[in-house]
Amino acid sequence: MPAAEENLPPIDFTRYPLDSEDPSAMDALVERCRCELDNRQYCSLPGFFRADAIGDILRTTEPLLERANRADSWRNCYLQREKDASLAADHPRNIFNHARYRMIPADLFPETSALKLLYYWPPFQRMVAAIVGVPRLFPNEDPLQPVNAICYGDGDQSAWHYDSTNAFTMTLMLQAAQQGGLFELAPNTRNGPADEDIGYMQEVLMGDRGRVETVSREPGELTIFRGCNSLHRVSPVQGDRLRMMAVFVYEEEPGIRGDPEVNQTVYGRTGLET
């Protein structure tokens, strides 16, 4: 039965047979992605969403921009906006970069959104859990974080940062910029918050690109990466076309909500208001 008739997410099931009754249909793909994630800190599934579905998502997402939070601040890689006077001026906590973008939180998307349909679909959750090497994943229960979209216009960018303590980050590219807007990642700049390579981090934060990788981001491409341990950013966007990307946040335990301070920085709300 066609995916649309079963109200399944608009995945390209020819390339990614998540709808198959054969339990081994995704084994080779999962193994390839798991190896890439372990070795490179990221893996990509190009063309994961059908092209026609991406167009539909863009048409329903763009009207939400007027209600999106406009973030425009200088911040360090921990998403903090205050310096630590007890540390050296060149410590990563005291190196600030500019971030400017618009963020559409989960509570603005309708429940019928294809993005939410994908996020809450159990076969997709099981695939991602297998790739990242955990027994099970749970939806984030924050009102703002689970399914969101980040949008960059001309001159916008994200600062170098870590993605809190989540073991992985997952994104779906919706629309690329005319120029710029490259996804840059510095693999393994730390092994958890208590084991950071400060020298490596300083190099990246101060402009050294020697160990920085540019990761492919084509419309419809799903990317999973270790944003908790690898500094990453979106380079400045140029041109009139918005760079738009969906972000999915899963947890390894049930009942997890976001940090109100991080929510305030990213979404302009703490998430405690709803």
What structural domains and CATH numbers belong to the chain? 27-267 (2.60.120.620)
Give the mean model confidence (pLDDT) for residues 7-20: 96
How confident is the model over 205-258, as pLDDT tens digits? 999 999 999 998 999 999 999 999 999 999 999 999 999 999 999 999 999 998
Would the pLDDT of 119 be above 50?
yes
Q: What is the pLDDT of residue 1?
A: 34
Task: List 173's β-bridge partners, or say none.
Answer: 245
Contact 58, 244 (CB under 8 A): yes
- At residue 263 the predicted structure's pLDDT band, cuts being 50, 70 and 90, is confident
pLDDT at 102 over 80: yes
pLDDT band at 195 (very low <50, low <70, confident <90, very high): very high
pLDDT band at 121 (very low <50, low <70, confident <90, very high): very high
Mean pLDDT over each residue of the chain, to the nearest integer: 93
Per-residue pLDDT, averaged over 140-154, amounts to: 96
- Return the percentage of the chain with pLDDT > 90, whole number: 85
Residues 68, 102: contact at Cβ < 8 Å? yes
* Percent of the chain whose predicted confidence (pLDDT) is above 70: 97
When pLDDT is cut at 50, 70 and 90, the band that residue 38 belongs to is very high
pLDDT attached to residue 264: 87
Element (H, E) at 224: strand 222-225
What pLDDT was estimated at residue 4? 43
Give 193's pLDDT tier (boundaries 50, 70, 90).
Answer: confident
The string of DSSP codes covering 228-273 is: TTSEEEEPPEESSSPEEEEEE-EESSTT----HHHHHHHHSS-S--
> Which pLDDT band, with edges at 50, 70 and 90, does 167 fall under?
confident
pLDDT confidence tier of residue 65, bands split at 50, 70 and 90: very high
Query: How high is the pLDDT of residue 274?
Result: 57
pLDDT at site 6: 62
Whether residue 163 contacts residue 174, with contact meaning beta carbons closer than 8 Å, is answered with no
Could you give the maximum distance between any two Cα atoms of the chain, in Å?
63
Residues near 242 by Cβ (< 8 Å), separated by ≥ 6?
62, 151, 152, 153, 175, 177
Q: Give the pLDDT band of residue 265 (cuts 50, 70, 90).
A: confident
Whole-structure pTM value: 0.91
Q: For 156-206, where are the E strands, in sequence order?
A: 169-175, 179-180, 183-186
pLDDT confidence of residue 251: 94
DSSP 216: P
